[in-house]
Amino acid sequence: MLAVEAAVLVLVAYGELVTLVQQITGAKRKKRLRRITSELRGFITSGEEARNRLDSWNARIARARTWIADVEGYLKPRSEKAFEEFRWGSGPVSTELQVRLDNLHRISQNAEHYF
């Protein structure tokens, strides 16, 4: 009888431990996703600033290429899926910046899907 009670206690403790580990893991994931989303918003803001600046054509192209390289450098080691989504739909640099901004908005809004 004592062995049965001990086994039940072990099973209950195991169940509680599993629940605790899941809660801790979930909290860490949410915190990580909030940080990533915040960093993506920073890239979106800087991309919009690059798009809206009134510079010479060459300066705009250089700024757009730099921004794209920075975002790709951020995404690639973190999520191959987000990296590929960001790169999708490239074209002339004049429209590529807007396409990439749209892609990054979509990634940011669905971060849990990508990271």
- pLDDT class of 27 with cuts at 50, 70, 90: very high
Nearest to 82 by CA among 39, 47, 111, 44: 111
- Furthest CA-CA distance within the chain: 85
Residue 106: both structure tokens together: 């979509």
Amino acid at 2: L
- pLDDT class of 45 with cuts at 50, 70, 90: very high
Residue 68: both structure tokens together: 């794209």
Query: How many whole angstroms separate alpha carbon 106 and alpha carbon 81?
Result: 12
Residue for token digits 């086994």? 7
* Residue 91, pLDDT score: 67
- Please say if the pLDDT value at position 6 is more than 80: yes
- Please say if the pLDDT value at position 41 is more than 70: yes
Query: How many whole angstroms separate alpha carbon 69 and alpha carbon 102?
Result: 16
